[in-house]
Chain A
Amino acid sequence: MNRFIQELTKGLWKEIPPFRLLLGLCPVLAVTKSASNGLGMGLAVLFVLTLSNMIISMVRGFIPKKVRIACFITISATLVVAVELLMQAYAYPLYLQLGIFVPLIVVNCVILGRAEAFAAKNPVHLSIADGLGIGLGFTMSLTFLGAVRELFGTGAVFGVPVMWEGFQPFTVMTEAPGAFLCLGIILGLMNWNTQHQARKRNLAVPENPLPGCGGCTACGAGRQGE
């Protein structure tokens, strides 16, 4: 039970996906134009990630090592098709807003990265906890990033105006450049915070996290060092 809680909570801060593990950046940057879009995308990923972790962990004994990536992709693609159909039925406006980024969950490195780094090696209940934890962390970060961008881009959060009167919105924040700038600055602040904490306690100052992608080398980012 202790392990379960530990795996569940690590995704919420210590290994929070886009900020600490730098996983799955495409949806992070593209759909966080508003807080509600970020939340919707995060929940879709949470659903797929938890179920794919569960299924992969169940069949991990039968999958030959050589074709495992293909198997993981097939499993996650099946789940993504299910999410697409569910969203078309129950959340059609959100589905239109997210556009091709719903089907693109298939190639999101969060899914493959966790499958490869965790679910393929651990029992079912721990894999579910890992999926839930990382998925929740992902949802939180997407909502946070979406809220920041919406706040500066339109002066509102979740569509509710919060800035003072006469506030001039930086429209660029809701466009593509704003995504890069915003994520870059947030990552920088997080690194600064980590290093500041370490310095205060006289510990060794940690290096900035590289795009290691949790051991997943599927897209090439993790292979740089080899």
Chain B
Amino acid sequence: MSIFEIFVSAIFVNNVVLAQNLGNCPYLGCSKEKGVALGMGSAVIFVTIMATLCTWLVQKYVLIPAHLEYLQTLAFILIIASLVQFVEMFLKKAIPPLYASLGIFLPLITTNCCVLGVTLLVQREELGLMTALVYALATGAGFLLALLLMAGVRERLETCRVPKALRGTPIALIMAGIMALSFMAFKGMV
């Protein structure tokens, strides 16, 4: 697959939330307002790319030469956790405006399965470094797209009369299902 195809397929065809069911907690939790959704989505894009870069290098130059591939999960989650801490401290000191907009979302991302999921998928599909980074960017963008769409729908939903039993999470899940159905139409694209 060419880089362009990987990019398009990761955003639309294999959308991380709507086709692969990754990152559902923030998808439901942070999609009540568009501003929050934008902040969370951008933070995920940023951390996914950084995490993919670091874990790819560690896998290639530490885990494989040392025959420790079975520790992949443990190593990756620790890398992501410390990376997130480090990025947070760096942004706070170096780029305060960016920290003001992304800062509150960063600590929440450690346990976002979207990030760990992408780093693991990259290793399972044995992508090269460049391809892996493009894939990470596209996956993050797909997450942002799904989150923004959902936030838009939920803001409109506030003014609707929803049956009492469906209010809150149930209706959000059903909306997500309908959205996933429409995303299935992209299947033939790549």
Contact of A78 among B74, B120, B173, B181 (CB under 8 A): B74
Closest to B112 in A: A219
Q: Is the Cβ of B73 less than 8 Å from the Cβ of A77?
A: yes
Query: Contact string, A50-93, partner B, CB cutoff 8 A, digits 1/0?
Result: 00000000000000000001100110011011001100000000
Query: In whole Å, how far is B67's beta carbon from the nearest beta carbon of chain A?
Result: 14
- Consensus secondary structure, chain A interface: helix
Contacts A/B (CB < 8 Å), 10 sampled: A26-B21, A81-B74, A175-B184, A180-B180, A187-B170, A191-B164, A210-B168, A211-B28, A220-B29, A221-B30
Interface flag for A178 (CB, 8 Å): yes
A-B CB proximity, top 4 nearest:
A221-B29, A184-B173, A180-B177, A30-B21
Chain A: number of interface residues, binned into ranges:
35 or more
Residues from chain B with a CB closer than 8 A to the CB of A209 are: 168-169
Q: How many A-B residue pairs have CB under 8 A?
A: 171
* Chain A residues within CB distance 8 Å of chain B: 22, 25-26, 29-30, 69-70, 73-74, 77-78, 80-81, 84-85, 99-100, 103-104, 106-109, 112, 172, 175-185, 187-189, 191-192, 195, 205, 208-211, 213, 217-224
CA distance A177 to B183 in the complex (A): 9
Q: Is the Cβ of B78 less than 8 Å from the Cβ of A187?
A: no
Known: A73-B78, A74-B78. A181 touches B173 (CB 8 A): yes
Q: How many residues of B contact A (CB 8 A)?
A: 52
Query: In whole Å, how far is B180's beta carbon from the nearest beta carbon of chain A?
Result: 4
Residues from chain B with a CB closer than 8 A to the CB of A77 are: 73-74, 77-78
Residues from chain A with a CB closer than 8 A to the CB of B18 are: 176-177
Contact of A208 among B24, B70, B81, B165 (CB under 8 A): B165
Contact of A220 among B30, B166, B172, B174 (CB under 8 A): B30
CA distance A188 to B28 in the complex (A): 16
Which segment of B51-59, B89-97, B103-111, B133-141 sits at the interface?
B103-111
Q: Is the Cβ of A26 less than 8 Å from the Cβ of B78?
A: no
Known A22-B28, A177-B18; 17 more pairs at CB < 8 Å: A26-B22, A26-B25, A77-B77, A77-B78, A80-B73, A85-B70, A175-B180, A176-B180, A187-B173, A191-B166, A208-B164, A208-B167, A217-B108, A219-B26, A220-B40, A220-B105, A224-B32
CA distance A218 to B73 in the complex (A): 19
CA distance A209 to B167 in the complex (A): 10
Q: Is the Cβ of B171 less than 8 Å from the Cβ of A219?
A: no
Contact of B113 among A107, A178, A185 (CB under 8 A): A107
CA distance A100 to B113 in the complex (A): 10
Residues from chain B with a CB closer than 8 A to the CB of A106 are: 73, 77, 116
Q: Is the Cβ of B180 less than 8 Å from the Cβ of A177?
A: yes
Q: Is the Cβ of A211 less than 8 Å from the Cβ of B29?
A: yes
CA distance A105 to B120 in the complex (A): 13
Query: In whole Å, how far is A31's beta carbon from the nearest beta carbon of chain B?
Result: 8
Interface flag for B131 (CB, 8 Å): no
Contact of B111 among A30, A84, A112, A172 (CB under 8 A): A112
Query: Contact string, B141-181, partner A, CB cutoff 8 A, digits 1/0?
Result: 00000000000000000000001111111111110111011
